[in-house]
């Protein structure tokens, strides 16, 4: 989800440009509206843009007294709402159940859209109220006033989730972010980053527009950070998390904070060294020395050269070549499990790696079925309706023996799965190794076997639908007896021969 970080970076550039001009150019307006139209297709956190655009509009109206420009900016919220509605039509279950329901339990699509459009149109009312009360606060600095509000909001966010998740307040406010920075940058650079965050707040208080925009983004996207209860007590997995949407944005702010600290050091040195070239050389030398003693270069090397699934992206062109966009079913060895960090979230089946990869590259995998290796043979019972699928992909540590008269082998791809086991997979104790270079390295050879579903299966399914037999009917029991399968809903399906040898279209249990 690093693309969301790119959108945030574009927002920072646009906001910085907008806040420096009393009018809104046509090109900037189109760029901003296009950004708001596209960002919901990345993550549900696009709703946080309501705060980003709302504050931007209020600042512009406060500073330049242009109600027209402020209204145009607020109109972007309607575009954002329309785009979110479009994404709900594409992946409603994921957005509602996996994201929005964590904020509002049991939220429905109708309720969400009502809140979004209500907030969009209410923003114009807020803008009108601001126009009325503005004359009473004209002498106050907007950046100083709103930076104070942002500090209070951050404290409220952290306190609320510390109570909700029963975690220490200071842990969520400081130590999880400190651990994140420490794991990525090391102690010296982490200290410079936290000094830079203080400088960012002070600069925003004084009216610096860039600092204000950065503090705004930093505060708003601190919400998903504390919601996830992110704790980086595992120093080994640091690079793996850089691609997570809420962490990559936080890391971006850390880079800006580091730059602010280096800028302050540079200005301080200029007072004593006088020459610009001398100050530049001294600062670069200092930064290189600090980085050499700070950055965990050995960890960088290991993580970069030992990916979880080596050559994993080879799987994508291989699948696209044979399958294209046709629907497939995936059967995988359920015993292939790896553990990346501590806690139950760190334990994943091979399904996790495959499904994430397929979803990104739009491979049409309709369902995943995990079974034991002993079941990966021609007696396999499928839970899915294979008559509606064109291919079956089998993933295991050994070659899958699924070939029969209804499944025809297409191709085989062998890839290694490698990772370092920092935490115990089977033991209750949390830490297995403290040093990354000493942690145990696992490596499995994965077999990807692709099978094509025979057209004859569709003919069988069509005949079965025509006679519409029921598994509990007396005729069914007399005619089919052995080899008959049924589901909990009593819908029958054909097997081959008198004894079940291949697969059932709907079956979840076998009747003998």
- Establish how many alpha carbons lie within 13 A of residue 370's alpha carbon, considering only the half-sphere containing its beta carbon: 11
DSSP 8-state symbol, 99:
I
Average pLDDT value for residue range 298-309: 64
Average pLDDT over residues 131-147: 81
Q: What does the block give as tokens for 495?
A: 């097997």
Structure tokens at 66: 């242009």
pLDDT above 90 covers a percentage of the chain that reads 30
Kindly tell me if the per-residue pLDDT of 7 is higher than 80. yes
Those residues whose C-beta lies under 8 Å from the C-beta of residue 135, and which sit 6 or more positions away, are none
Which tops the pLDDT comparison, 227 or 71?
A: 71
Tell me the average pLDDT across 312-316.
76
**Cross-strand partners of 393:** 330, 450
For 160-205, the pLDDT digits (tens) are: 988 888 888 888 888 778 877 887 788 899 999 999 999 999 999 9
User: How far does the chain reach from its first CA to its final CA, in angstroms?
Assistant: 49
pLDDT classification of 420: cutoffs 50, 70, 90: low
Q: Poorest-confidence range of 63-67, 68-72, 234-238?
A: 234-238
Percent of the chain with pLDDT over 70: 74
Q: What's the confidence (pLDDT) of residue 212?
A: 96
261-275 pLDDT, tens digit per residue, is 999 998 888 887 777
Strands 391-396 and 328-333: parallel
For residue 262, the model assigns a pLDDT of 93
480 has a pLDDT exceeding 90: no
Mean pLDDT check: name the lowest of 231-240, 350-359, 458-467. 458-467
For 355-397, how does the pLDDT look when each residue is reduced to its tens digit (9 = 90+)?
877 877 778 898 999 999 888 888 888 887 888 889 999 999 8
pLDDT at 361: 78
The separation between CA 494 and the C-alpha centre of its own chain, rounded to angstroms, equals 41
pLDDT of 229 strictly over 80: no
- Compare 31 and 301 and report the one with higher pLDDT: 31
Residue 435 scores a pLDDT above 90? no
Question: Is 431 or 124 the better-scoring residue by pLDDT?
Answer: 124
Distance CA 196, CA 217 (A): 15
Cα–Cα distance list, 197 to 109, 245, 376 (Å): 38, 20, 55
pLDDT digits (tens, 9 = 90+) for 79-90: 999 999 998 888
Mean pLDDT, the chain, rounded, equals: 77
Lowest model confidence (mean pLDDT) among 22-31, 45-54, 416-425, 440-449: 416-425
Task: Give me the long-range contacts of 132-140 (CB less than 8 A, separation at least 24).
Answer: 134/61, 134/62, 134/65
Burial string for 466-490 (b: 16+ CB within 10 Å, else e) reads eeebebeeeebeeebeebbbbbeee
- Residue 362 CB coordination number (10 Å): 9
**Whole-angstrom Cα distance, residue 34 to residue 79?**
9
pLDDT at 493 over 70: no
pLDDT at 456: 67
Top-confidence range, 284-293, 463-472, 474-483:
284-293
Give the pLDDT confidence of 329-339 residue by residue, as tens digits: 999 998 887 66
Instruction: Kindly write down the DSSP assignment for every residue of 100-162, as one continuous string.
Output: GGGTSTT--HHHHHHHHHHHHHHHHHHHHHHHHHGGGSTTS-HHHHHHHHHHHHHHHHHHHHH
- The answer to whether the CB of 323 falls within 8 A of the CB of 391 is yes
> Where residue 433 falls among pLDDT bands split at 50, 70, 90?
very low
Least-confidence region, from 92-96, 128-132, 367-371: 92-96
pLDDT of residue 72: 92
Position 244 confidence tier, pLDDT thresholds 50, 70, 90: low
pTM, two decimals, is: 0.70
* Token couple for 157: 């966010």
């Amino acid at each position: 989800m690093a693309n969301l970080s790119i959108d945030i970076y574009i927002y920072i550039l646009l906001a910085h440009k907008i806040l420096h001009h009393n009018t809104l150019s046509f090109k900037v307006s189109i760029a901003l509206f296009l950004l708001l139209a596209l960002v919901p297709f990345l993550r549900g956190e696009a709703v946080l843009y309501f705060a980003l655009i709302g504050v931007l509009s209020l600042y512009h109206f406060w500073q330049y007294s242009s109600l027209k420009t402020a209204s145009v900016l607020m109109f972007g919220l309607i575009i954002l709402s329309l785009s979110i509605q479009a994404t709900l039509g594409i992946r409603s279950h994921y957005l509602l159940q996996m994201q929005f329901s964590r904020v509002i339990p049991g939220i429905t699509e109708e309720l969400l859209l009502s809140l979004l459009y209500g907030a969009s149109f209410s923003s114009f009312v807020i803008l009108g109220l601001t126009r009325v009360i503005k004359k009473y606060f004209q002498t106050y600095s907007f950046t100083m006033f709103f930076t104070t509000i942002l500090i209070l909001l951050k404290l409220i966010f952290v306190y609320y989730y510390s109570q909700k998740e029963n975690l220490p307040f200071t842990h969520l406010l400081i130590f999880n972010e400190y651990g994140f920075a420490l794991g990525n940058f090391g102690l010296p650079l982490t200290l410079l980053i936290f000094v830079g965050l203080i400088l960012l707040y002070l600069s925003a208080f004084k009216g610096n527009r860039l600092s204000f925009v950065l503090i705004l983004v930093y505060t708003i996207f601190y919400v998903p950070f504390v919601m996830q209860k992110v704790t980086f007590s595992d120093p080994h997995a640091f690079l793996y998390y850089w691609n997570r949407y809420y962490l990559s944005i936080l890391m971006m702010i850390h880079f800006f904070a580091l730059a602010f600290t280096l800028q302050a050091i540079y200005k301080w040195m200029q007072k004593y060294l006088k020459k610009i070239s001398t100050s530049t050389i001294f600062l670069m030398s200092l930064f290189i020395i600090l980085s050499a003693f700070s950055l965990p270069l050995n960890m960088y090397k290991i993580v970069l050269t030992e990916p979880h699934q080596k050559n994993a992206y080879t799987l994508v062109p291989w699948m696209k070549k044979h399958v294209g966009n046709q629907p497939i079913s995936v059967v995988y060895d359920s015993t292939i499990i790896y553990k990346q960090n501590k806690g139950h979230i760190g334990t994943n089946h091979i399904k996790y790696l495959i499904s994430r990869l397929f979803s990104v590259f739009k491979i049409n995998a309709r369902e995943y079925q995990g079974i034991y290796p002993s079941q990966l043979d021609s007696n396999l019972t499928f839970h899915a309706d294979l008559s509606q699928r064109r291919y079956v992909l089998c993933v295991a540590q050994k070659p899958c023996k699924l070939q029969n008269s209804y499944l025809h082998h297409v191709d085989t791809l062998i890839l290694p799965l490698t990772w370092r086991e920092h935490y115990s997979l089977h033991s209750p104790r949390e830490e297995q190794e403290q040093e990354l270079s000493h942690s145990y390295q696992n490596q499995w050879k994965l077999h990807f076997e692709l099978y094509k579903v025979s057209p004859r299966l569709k003919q069988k399914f069509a005949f079965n639908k025509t006679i519409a037999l029921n598994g509990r009917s007396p005729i069914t029991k007399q005619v089919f007896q052995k080899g008959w399968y049924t589901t909990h809903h009593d819908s029958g399906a054909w097997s081959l021969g008198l004894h079940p040898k291949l697969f059932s279209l709907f079956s979840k249990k076998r009747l003998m």
